[in-house]
Structure 1
Amino acid sequence: MMTVMSCITNEHNLLLVSVAALICLFGSAITLRLLNRAVSASGGQRFGWQFLAAVAGGGGVWTTHFVAMLAYEPSAPVSFDPVMTLLSLVIAMGGLVASFSISGIRANRMFAPLGGAVVGLSYSAMHYTGMFAFSVMGLIEWQLGYVVASILLPVVCSAVAVALVSRPDLRAQRFWMAVTLFVMGIVGLHFTGMAAYRITPLTSNFPEVSPAAALALGLAIAIVALIVVGAGMASYLIDTDVRAHSQQQLRYMAAHDALTGLPNRISFTDRLIEVLHEARGSGRKFAVIGIDLNRFKEINDTLGHSAGDEALRIVSRRMAQSLDSDEFVARLGGDEFAAVKTCVTKKEVSAFADRLAEIFGRPIRVGNIEVTVGASMGAAIWPDDAEAPDELVNNADLAMYHAKHTFLDVPCFYDSGIGASVRKRRQLGEALRHALEQDELAIHYQVQKSLSTGEVQGYEALLRWTHPQLGPIPPSEFIPIAEENGLVRSLGVWVLRRACMDAVTWDKPCRVAVNVSAVQFMDANLPRLVHEVLIETGLPPQRLELELTETALIKDKGRSLHIIGQIKALGVGLALDDFGSGYSSLETLRSFPFDKIKLDRAFVDGIESDRQSKAIVRAVLALGKSLDIPVLAEGIETDEQMSVLRLEGCDEGQGYLLGRPSPIGDLAQNRQPAQSDTPRHQRVA
Structure 2
Amino acid sequence: MPHRARISLGGETLDLQISRAALEGGEGAILVLTWSIVTQQVEVEKHIWKLAHYDALTGLENRHAFGQRLSREDGAPLAGGVLLIGLDGFEAISDLNGRHVGEGLIVQVADRLRLACQGQDAHIGRLEGHQFAMLVPYAERERLEAFAHELVALLGRPYWLGQKMLPGVTVVIGIAQQPQHGMGSDRLIARADIAMRVAKSQRKSAVAFFQLDMEQCLLERVLLEQDLRRALETGEGLFVFYQPIMEISSGRVSTREALVRWHRPQWGWVSPADFIPIAEETDLIEHLGAFVLRRACWDALVWGDSARVAVNMSGRQFGRQSLVPAVMAALDETGLPAERLEIEITETAALAEDADVLADLHCLHAMGVRISLDDFGTGYSSFSHLRTFHVDKIKIDGSFVRDAAKKIECASIVRAAADIGRRLGIPVVAECVETEEQFHSIVLEGCTEAQGYFISVPKPTARDLVTINIINRSEDDLFFVKGDKMDIYFSCNDRLREIYSM
- Give the TM-score of the pair, scaled to structure 2: 0.72
Name the CA shift for 1:374/1:543 in 2 (closer, same or farther; >3 Å): closer
Aligned partner of 1:416 in structure 2 is 212
- What is the deviation of 1:405? 4.2
Name the CA shift for 1:606/1:362 in 2 (closer, same or farther; >3 Å): closer
Q: Is it true that 1:337 corresponds to 2:132 in the alignment?
A: yes
Q: Mapping of 1:325-364 within 5 angstroms? A: 327-341=122-136, 346=141, 360=155
Name the CA shift for 1:294/1:363 in 2 (closer, same or farther; >3 Å): same
Q: Mapping of 1:55-204 within 5 angstroms? A: none
Q: Is it true that 1:253 corresponds to 2:47 in the alignment?
A: no
Q: Where does structure 2 lack aligned partners over 5 or more consecutive residues? A: 3-16, 27-32, 466-482
Paired with 1:351 and 1:637, the residues of 2 have a C-alpha distance of 39
Q: Is it true that 1:447 corresponds to 2:255 in the alignment?
A: no
Q: Is it true that 1:366 corresponds to 2:161 in the alignment?
A: yes
- What is the deviation of 1:537? 2.9
Paired with 1:423 and 1:578, the residues of 2 have a C-alpha distance of 33
- What is the deviation of 1:531? 1.6
Task: Give the RMSD, CA atoms, in angstroms.
Answer: 4.5
Contact kept, 8 Å, 1:476 with 1:682, in 2: the verdict is: no
Contact kept, 8 Å, 2:248 with 2:450, in 1: the verdict is: yes
Paired with 1:608 and 1:374, the residues of 2 have a C-alpha distance of 31
* 1:448-499 per-position Cα deviation (integer Å, ceiling 9, x unaligned): 3444544443421101122223321222333333334454343222221222
Paired with 1:603 and 1:344, the residues of 2 have a C-alpha distance of 43
Aligned partner of 2:30 in structure 1 is none
Q: Which amino acid in structure 2 is aligned with residue 515 of structure 1?
A: N
Aligned partner of 2:100 in structure 1 is 306
SS at match of 1:278: coil
Name the CA shift for 1:434/1:323 in 2 (closer, same or farther; >3 Å): farther
Aligned partner of 2:8 in structure 1 is none
Q: Mapping of 1:260-659 within 5 angstroms? A: 260-272=58-70, 274-275=71-72, 277-280=74-77, 285-294=79-88, 296-297=90-91, 300=94, 304-316=98-110, 319=113, 322=117, 327-341=122-136, 346=141, 360=155, 366-368=161-163, 372-373=168-169, 375-387=171-183, 389-406=185-202, 412-416=208-212, 418-421=214-217, 423-440=219-236, 441-485=238-282, 487-506=284-303, 509-556=306-353, 560-583=357-380, 585-589=382-386, 591-602=388-399, 605=402, 620-621=417-418, 623-637=420-434, 651-659=448-456
- What is the deviation of 1:414? 2.1
Contact kept, 8 Å, 1:458 with 1:510, in 2: the verdict is: yes
- What is the deviation of 1:555? 1.4
Q: Which amino acid in structure 1 is aligned with residue 427 of structure 2?
A: P
- Matched positions, count: 456
Paired with 1:361 and 1:602, the residues of 2 have a C-alpha distance of 22
Paired with 1:620 and 1:374, the residues of 2 have a C-alpha distance of 27
Q: Which amino acid in structure 2 is aligned with residue 328 of structure 1?
A: H
Greater helix share, 1 or 2?
1
Paired with 1:428 and 1:369, the residues of 2 have a C-alpha distance of 39
Q: Which amino acid in structure 2 is aligned with residue 334 of structure 1?
A: G
Contact kept, 8 Å, 1:262 with 1:320, in 2: the verdict is: no
Contact kept, 8 Å, 1:522 with 1:552, in 2: the verdict is: no
- What is the deviation of 1:332? 0.9
Contact kept, 8 Å, 2:87 with 2:171, in 1: the verdict is: yes
* 1:371-428 per-position Cα deviation (integer Å, ceiling 9, x unaligned): 6557433221233122464332222112223344456777543233555555544543
Q: Which amino acid in structure 1 is aligned with residue 224 of structure 2?
A: L
Paired with 2:150 and 2:435, the residues of 1 have a C-alpha distance of 52
- What is the deviation of 1:336? 0.9
Paired with 1:571 and 1:256, the residues of 2 have a C-alpha distance of 51
Paired with 2:74 and 2:295, the residues of 1 have a C-alpha distance of 56
Q: Which amino acid in structure 2 is aligned with residue 316 of structure 1?
A: A
Aligned partner of 1:100 in structure 2 is none
Name the CA shift for 1:474/1:408 in 2 (closer, same or farther; >3 Å): closer
* 1:622-658 per-position Cα deviation (integer Å, ceiling 9, x unaligned): 5544433234443445566667777888654433344
- What is the deviation of 1:556? 0.9
Aligned partner of 1:220 in structure 2 is none
Name the CA shift for 1:341/1:525 in 2 (closer, same or farther; >3 Å): same
Contact kept, 8 Å, 2:280 with 2:316, in 1: the verdict is: no
* 1:169-204 per-position Cα deviation (integer Å, ceiling 9, x unaligned): xxx9xx98xx87xx97xx99xxxxxxxxxxxxxxxx
Bigger mean CA offset, 670-679 vs 289-298? 670-679
SS at match of 2:241: strand
Percent same amino acid at aligned positions? 36
Bigger mean CA offset, 459-468 vs 301-310? 301-310
Paired with 1:639 and 1:358, the residues of 2 have a C-alpha distance of 39
SS at match of 1:536: helix
Paired with 1:320 and 1:600, the residues of 2 have a C-alpha distance of 37
Aligned partner of 1:105 in structure 2 is none
Name the CA shift for 1:252/1:630 in 2 (closer, same or farther; >3 Å): closer
Name the CA shift for 1:248/1:576 in 2 (closer, same or farther; >3 Å): closer
- What is the deviation of 1:436? 2.9
Q: Which amino acid in structure 1 is aligned with residue 79 of structure 2?
A: K
Name the CA shift for 1:275/1:488 in 2 (closer, same or farther; >3 Å): farther
Name the CA shift for 1:318/1:276 in 2 (closer, same or farther; >3 Å): farther
* 1:2-24 per-position Cα deviation (integer Å, ceiling 9, x unaligned): xxxxxxxxxxxxxxxxxxxxxxx
Paired with 2:108 and 2:323, the residues of 1 have a C-alpha distance of 34
Contact kept, 8 Å, 2:98 with 2:354, in 1: the verdict is: no
* 1:277-330 per-position Cα deviation (integer Å, ceiling 9, x unaligned): 4325xxx53432212235755764565433432343344356568478964332
- Give the TM-score of the pair, scaled to structure 1: 0.55
SS at match of 1:398: helix
Name the CA shift for 1:638/1:394 in 2 (closer, same or farther; >3 Å): same
Q: Which amino acid in structure 1 is aligned with residue 126 of structure 2?
A: R
Name the CA shift for 1:593/1:681 in 2 (closer, same or farther; >3 Å): farther
Paired with 1:653 and 1:358, the residues of 2 have a C-alpha distance of 37
Paired with 1:313 and 1:584, the residues of 2 have a C-alpha distance of 24
* 1:336-364 per-position Cα deviation (integer Å, ceiling 9, x unaligned): 12233456655775687578668746876
Paired with 1:413 and 1:587, the residues of 2 have a C-alpha distance of 40
Paired with 2:79 and 2:134, the residues of 1 have a C-alpha distance of 14
Paired with 2:313 and 2:294, the residues of 1 have a C-alpha distance of 12
SS at match of 1:577: strand
Contact kept, 8 Å, 1:662 with 1:672, in 2: the verdict is: no
- What is the deviation of 1:250? 2.2
Contact kept, 8 Å, 2:347 with 2:378, in 1: the verdict is: no
Name the CA shift for 1:378/1:681 in 2 (closer, same or farther; >3 Å): same
Contact kept, 8 Å, 1:288 with 1:379, in 2: the verdict is: yes
Which is bigger in relative contact order (C-alpha 8 A, separation at least 6)? Answer: 2
Q: Where does structure 1 lack aligned partners over 5 or more consecutive residues? A: 1-28, 30-171, 189-229
